[in-house]
Amino acid sequence: MDEFELRAAEGACDNLAYVVMPDHIHWLVRLRGDSMLHEVVRRLKGRSARLIKMMKASPSIIWQKSFHDRALRAEEDIENVANYLIHNPLRAGLVRGLSDYPFWWSVWHQRDRNRG
């Protein structure tokens, strides 16, 4: 189970979309209950950093100490925001098609992605 899914399985949030870029991530979540965003992010960064360091056998710093967040306005279309987010690899010129980039997920695109 990846770290995004683990945060949701713990009951902290609902994952709506994410994309892992070479030097940062974009993560669209809906917090559950009394979950605090800074705590959800801290857990994701802490556990993933430990796993990455074990795989790389490197003591290097994985994540910046802080993060940037933005709350969506009520009138914003969440699906459009997710679509914009997952297309970051295309805009960055990393791939020609979204299907060529393996490090993304969206609740609205999961069926399309599973097909191929």
Give the start-to-end residue ranges of the domains of the chain: 3-115
**d(C-alpha 34, C-alpha 49), whole Å:** 25
pLDDT attached to residue 116: 38
pTM: 0.81
Based on its alpha-carbon atoms, the radius of gyration of the chain, rounded to whole angstroms, reads 15
CATH assignment, 3-115 = 3.30.70.1290
Along the 116 residues of the chain, how does pLDDT read in single tens digits?
A: 588 888 889 889 999 999 999 888 999 999 999 999 999 988 888 888 877 777 776 667 777 788 888 888 877 899 999 999 999 999 999 999 999 999 999 999 864 444 33
> Are the C-beta atoms of residues 101 and 89 closer than 8 Å to each other?
yes
pLDDT attached to residue 110: 67
**d(C-alpha 96, C-alpha 89), whole Å:** 9
Nearest to 13 by CA among 33, 1, 3: 33
AA letter at 81? V
**d(C-alpha 81, C-alpha 72), whole Å:** 9
